[in-house]
Structure 1
Amino acid sequence: MDKIWANRLVAGTKTWAEMPASRRAGVKAELARRVTDGEISEERYKEITGEDYYNG
């Protein structure tokens, strides 16, 4: 389900505010993986989540 939410957020069909709070940690992890894999940029991560990407 986290991957589905991540897909929808990246595609712009859903917003971070629409996502259930219970899914946020998992979706953030999925989006972070996509930044690491080069699928989305750090800037896109911030646009989606409202937070800076941190790989630490």
Structure 2
Amino acid sequence: MNIIWANRLIAGTKTWAEMPTRRRPGVKRELAKRVAEDEITAEQYKEITGEDYNE
């Protein structure tokens, strides 16, 4: 489910505010993994989560 939420956030079909609070830690991990794998930028991570990306 974290992967699905990450995909929707990246695509812009859902917002961070719409995501259930209990999902946020797992989705942050998924998004951080994607930054590390160069699938999204650290800037996109910040736009989605509102927080800076920290390795």
* 1-structure distance, mates of 2:5, 2:18: 10
Can you give the 5+ residue segments of structure 1 that lack an aligned partner in the other structure? none
Matched length: 55
What residue number does 1:3 align with? 3
What residue number does 1:46 align with? 46
Identity %: 71
Deviant stretches of 4+, over 4 Å: none
Q: How does 1:1-56 map to 2 (within 5 A)?
A: 1-55=1-55
Tell me the C-alpha RMSD between the 2 structures.
0.1
* 2-structure distance, mates of 1:22, 1:4: 14
TM-score by length of 2: 1.00
Per the TM alignment, residue 44 of structure 1 is displaced from its structure 2 partner at its CA by 0.1
* 2-structure distance, mates of 1:36, 1:43: 12
